[in-house]
Chains A and B, each alone.
Chain A
């Protein structure tokens, strides 16, 4: 490619990286509440990204998508999870298997691995002038680290939602022209998934009186 990146490429790069950095912040956030607030912030960045893509690539449908994203992911989903936590009223600090430093180290290694792997595939084209795809794979991998190393249902659910944000970043930049119907179907599915996660979290809490997944080891073999 070479040359100075365009304003569009620069802006999307910054926003995508911001999503990745938020993912790291979620990894080190000790309190579940702050983790959920970080998720809301991350979703806000995704909303801004949708507006930027809509404006610079002239895809007016993406404005509608940005609005739906904002309502669902910045307001509704964090609100639902926070409400659930108020009801549960226990285990406010998340439980991680490793210390913060080791978790961050693992996440850095994993995200570098994802970034380098996808970059070496040389997927650049006119449609994709940025390393967004590589960064979003890194976001997905860090979300996996978060889910694996945290042992409570809230962190794991929020980890999944943020993984979905990572895929969303890719779909906005890589597949901006995806029909709006499909985008909305994706979001609707997310909403349903949130409700189902909520229901099962409540069932789990009602059964075992904890949000921890530590005792989820009876089924094996």
Chain B
């Protein structure tokens, strides 16, 4: 297969599957979605060696360079693992999986993933905006799909705030278009190659305005503070497979959109200005998220705030403007996708087992869940950047990049805030997972905590969930211990595309 046909297949197959799953019964949609997810991931991985030779272009609408492929691989990985997880998760929805709910769910999940794999491979900031807007409308429906009062409240906040953010992002796109008219005349297309070729001659004021609007607009969907307020609600009230996709894949795609604006802005006005903008949003996000992590009782909200934290780390990492840190940022995109996906899969296992997201009522998780219990602990430790997992390596690269400028205190702030976040996450782990087992026949005299805690029997809700978590943690180990050489070349090349000091 040629590189172009692989790219076209990636764009077409999930859409076809989404239409098909709308009409098929759930027992057929389940294996079909898993197969599609795995196929899209394999195809995306097959693009890695090809894109190292040269960027891929298909007509005027599709393109993939190293930067695109990094985000494509992360999204496709989530597509595959979430499909596996959902196969176990939805099975447990008693009486629901065979009905209209199941068909809507599978069709929606496939369409959502389709929009997310399309976003990094379209050519140009206008089409990118369109793809991200499609992700918003589909995921808003998926947030509301459970049809509870809390879900409709969360969906309303999400669709309103994300749409407003994207309205601002559209304004950013138009201002960027206007900036180009000085060079290209009144009619041209917004493809990346064209924008980057002309960026040196764009009027700086217009490009600056476009960049700020883009960070504010796409930042709303990425979860940057102070425009993150929809995020914990939507993540906690959505069905868990949707939470995993929102948190681990969609936020990164919106970061990708900001990076595309960054590339142009950096060529027009130099890197200082866009780095400063990202620094402000990044530090605010990391600070607020770290503090909220300390006092969170809802399991899925805890993971949502951890996403805000990691998005802050990405923004700060870019603000260092050093190539080492940029490589770290791109590796962080991959490892955060794997770690957050795995953690949400684990939370699905806990919610199914204990029937609650309230961490005050969950005790002895590791005893009740013989497989996913230890896996959840490992995933949470991975999220708080423990070696040997991928996030340790990526945060290490980011911090080393930041420390290359000895007068810069930001790297120190980053370390302090990440440590606070670590306290919050490890408090959760010890309280709910590693606490004494409250089961009758355990050691009742040592039971601590509130009297309304849930008592459960030992056993796994579903083997599919365990499989998805093992794959996620396996990927994290690979990313942390030994990067495949082609992947490492891919990250190098993508970082070069983003510029920055060596």
Contacts and interface: CB of A to CB of B under 8 A. Distances in A.
Interface of A: 57, 59, 118, 121-123, 125, 127-128, 133, 136-137, 140, 144, 147, 153, 156-157, 160, 163-164, 167, 170-171, 174-179, 182, 185-186, 189, 192-193, 195-197, 199-201, 203-204, 207-208, 213, 216, 218-219, 221
Given A123-B178, A219-B236, A203 B126 contact: no
B167 A160 contact: yes
Chain B interface helix/strand/loop/mixed: helix
17 contacts: A121-B206, A122-B205, A123-B206, A140-B171, A153-B156, A156-B160, A177-B185, A182-B189, A193-B137, A193-B163, A196-B141, A200-B144, A203-B155, A208-B149, A219-B157, A221-B296, A221-B298
A134 to B, nearest CB: 11
B156 A174 contact: no
B130 interface: yes
A171 B169 CA distance: 12
Contact of B156 (A177, A182, A204): A204
A189 B133 contact: yes
Given A121-B205, A157-B160, 4 more contacts: A140-B171, A177-B187, A203-B152, A216-B153
Contact of B181 (A118, A125, A137, A160): A125
A219 B233 contact: yes
Contacts of B154: 219
Nearest to A203: B152
Interface centre among A185, A186, A203 (most CB of B within 10 A): A203
Interface in B142-179: 144, 147-150, 152-157, 159-160, 163-164, 167-168, 170-171, 174-175, 177-178
A171 B136 CA distance: 21
Nearest to A179: B189
A123 B205 contact: yes
A219 B159 contact: no
A115 B157 CA distance: 28
A189 B134 contact: yes
B188 A177 contact: yes
Contacts of B500: none
A209 to B, nearest CB: 11
A127 B130 contact: no
A213 B160 CA distance: 12
A218 B148 CA distance: 12
Contacts of B189: 179, 182
CB-CB nearest 8 A-B residue pairs: A177-B187, A177-B186, A175-B177, A219-B233, A182-B126, A196-B137, A185-B130, A189-B133
B140 A123 contact: no
B412 interface: no
A149 to B, nearest CB: 14
B402 to A, nearest CB: 31
A160 B163 contact: yes
B21 to A, nearest CB: 19
B175 A133 contact: yes
Contacts of B233: 219
A193 B137 CA distance: 6
B218 to A, nearest CB: 15
Contacts of B164: 144, 147, 160, 163
Contacts of A144: 164
B163 A186 contact: no
Contacts of A189: 130, 133-134, 137
Interface in B280-327: 292, 295-298, 301
Contacts of B178: 123, 127-128, 133, 174-175
B237 interface: yes
B203 interface: yes
Contacts of A200: 140-141, 144, 152, 155-156, 159
B454 interface: no
A118 B206 CA distance: 10
Given A167-B170, A204-B152, A219-B153, A196 B159 contact: yes
Contacts of A163: 164, 167
A133 B210 CA distance: 12
B149 A127 contact: no
A192 B138 CA distance: 9
Contacts of A192: 134, 137
B127 A182 contact: yes
A207 B163 contact: no
B203 A123 contact: yes
Interface string B180-211: 01100111111000000000000101100100
B54 to A, nearest CB: 26
A182 B190 CA distance: 10
A128 B175 CA distance: 11
B182 A125 contact: yes
B153 A176 contact: no
B133 A216 contact: no
B422 to A, nearest CB: 20
Contacts of A136: 171
A213 B152 CA distance: 11
B150 A199 contact: no
Nearest to B141: A196
Given A125-B181, A203-B147, A167 B171 contact: yes
B177 A174 contact: yes
B174 A207 contact: no
A174 B174 CA distance: 7
Contacts of B205: 121-123
A133 B159 CA distance: 26
B186 A176 contact: yes
Contacts of B295: 221
B116 to A, nearest CB: 16
Given A127-B182, A175-B178, A200-B156, A140 B150 contact: no
Nearest to B169: A167
B155 A171 contact: no
Nearest to A219: B233
Contacts of B298: 221
A58 to B, nearest CB: 10
B147 A160 contact: no
A171 to B, nearest CB: 5
B174 A193 contact: no
B171 A137 contact: yes
Nearest to B233: A219
A116 to B, nearest CB: 14
Contacts of A123: 178, 203, 205-206, 209
